[in-house]
């Protein structure tokens, strides 16, 4: 099934230092009820670098149980040690998940050949679908379109979360990609622009909030009703910078706590609680009482 729509890279709720499984289950049910297109726990927004192996498996198991095949479930799953990534695949394949969101190897800054070989080895080692995550400002390396399109020839490399930061590269990719391959933006403010240029959707942390509006914009754009989509988008787009004014996902967690969707806005170090000034601006912008 082609990857389209509004996908949510879910936060991981914590309470008193531990994963808050009750809030986690409630969040999953909430977003399924909202009509979200797909869920991606344990990405960067899910604070995956700070989750232990035991916690990782528990969170995967709970997500698979709660989703139960109702919507696509991908798991954030990558690293800069190719062998270690391959060895961990068996953990995922025990559970009912559809695919992985796999980031380009970070810090090592491999060549294009190294990037190609990394993802090919993952592709060959699993039957799970793969969404590649290209985000150079975090990883230090850009996956060029030429390399990505070569990878897209593989049957189980089905999509990219595009956060390359270069609009020219993105537009060229949208023009050149095969019909079966999906390009979803990971840059929240680019959502409308990507859809207008033929993108299939977005993997959007800000869709934790006002999820229905994001879904309405996607539906209207797919119906080629750009004029109707734009006013809703403008209202939502104006709130996005606040959610990234301080490191993600702390601002989003604060709003979710205020809305009663999670028990605590706790994040794990090295992330920190947001400033009082940002709390005030979020309260005003999201009408939190």
d(CA 36, CA 74): 13
d(CA 286, CA 71): 28
β-pairing, 14-15 vs 18-19, is antiparallel
CA distances from 86 to 82, 89, 102, 120, 145 (A): 6, 5, 12, 11, 24
Our answer to whether residue 283 is catalytic in this structure is: no
Cis, bond preceding 270 (omega within 30 deg of 0): yes
Question: In the chain, which residue ranges form alpha helices assigned H by DSSP?
Answer: 21-34, 53-67, 82-92, 112-125, 136-139, 145-151, 167-176, 191-196, 211-222, 226-237, 240-243, 250-258, 276-285
Catalytic residue, candidates 24, 31, 74, 133: 133
Measured torsion, CA atoms of residues 11, 15, 16, 21, in degrees rounded to the nearest 10: -100
CA angle at 83 for the pair 81 and 89, rounded to the nearest 5°: 105
Our answer to whether residue 161 is catalytic in this structure is: yes
Catalytic residue, candidates 161, 177, 192, 254: 161
Active-site positions?
133, 161
């Amino acid at each position: 099934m082609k990857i389209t729509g509004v996908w949510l890279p879910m936060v991981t709720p914590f309470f008193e230092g531990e994963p808050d499984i009750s809030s986690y289950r409630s969040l999953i049910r909430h977003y399924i009820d909202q009509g979200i297109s797909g869920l991606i726990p344990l990405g960067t927004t899910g604070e995956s670098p700070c989750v232990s192996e035991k916690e990782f498996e528990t969170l995967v198991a709970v997500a698979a149980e709660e989703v139960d095949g109702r919507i696509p479930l991908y798991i954030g799953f990558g690293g800069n040690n190719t062998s270690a990534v391959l060895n961990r695949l068996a953990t995922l394949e025990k559970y009912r998940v559809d695919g992985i969101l796999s980031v380009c190897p970070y810090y090592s800054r491999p060549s294009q050949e190294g990037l190609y070989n990394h993802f090919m080895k993952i592709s060959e080692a699993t039957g799970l679908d793969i969404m590649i995550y290209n985000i150079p400002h975090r990883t230090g390396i850009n996956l060029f379109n030429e390399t990505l399109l070569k990878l897209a020839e593989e049957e189980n490399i089905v999509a990219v979360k595009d956060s390359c930061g270069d609009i020219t590269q993105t537009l060229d990719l949208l023009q050149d990609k095969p019909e079966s391959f999906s390009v979803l933006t990971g840059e929240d403010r680019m959502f409308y622009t990507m859809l207008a240029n033929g993108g299939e959707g977005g993997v959007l942390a800000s869709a934790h909030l006002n999820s229905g509006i994001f879904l309405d914009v996607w539906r209207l754009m797919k119906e080629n009703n750009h004029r109707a989509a734009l006013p809703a988008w403008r209202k939502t787009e104006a709130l996005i910078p606040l959610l990234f004014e301080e490191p993600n996902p702390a601002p989003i967690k604060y709003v979710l706590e205020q809305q009663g969707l999670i028990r605590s806005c706790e994040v794990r170090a090295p992330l920190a609680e947001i400033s009082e000034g940002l709390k005030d601006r979020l309260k005003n912008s999201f009408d939190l009482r």
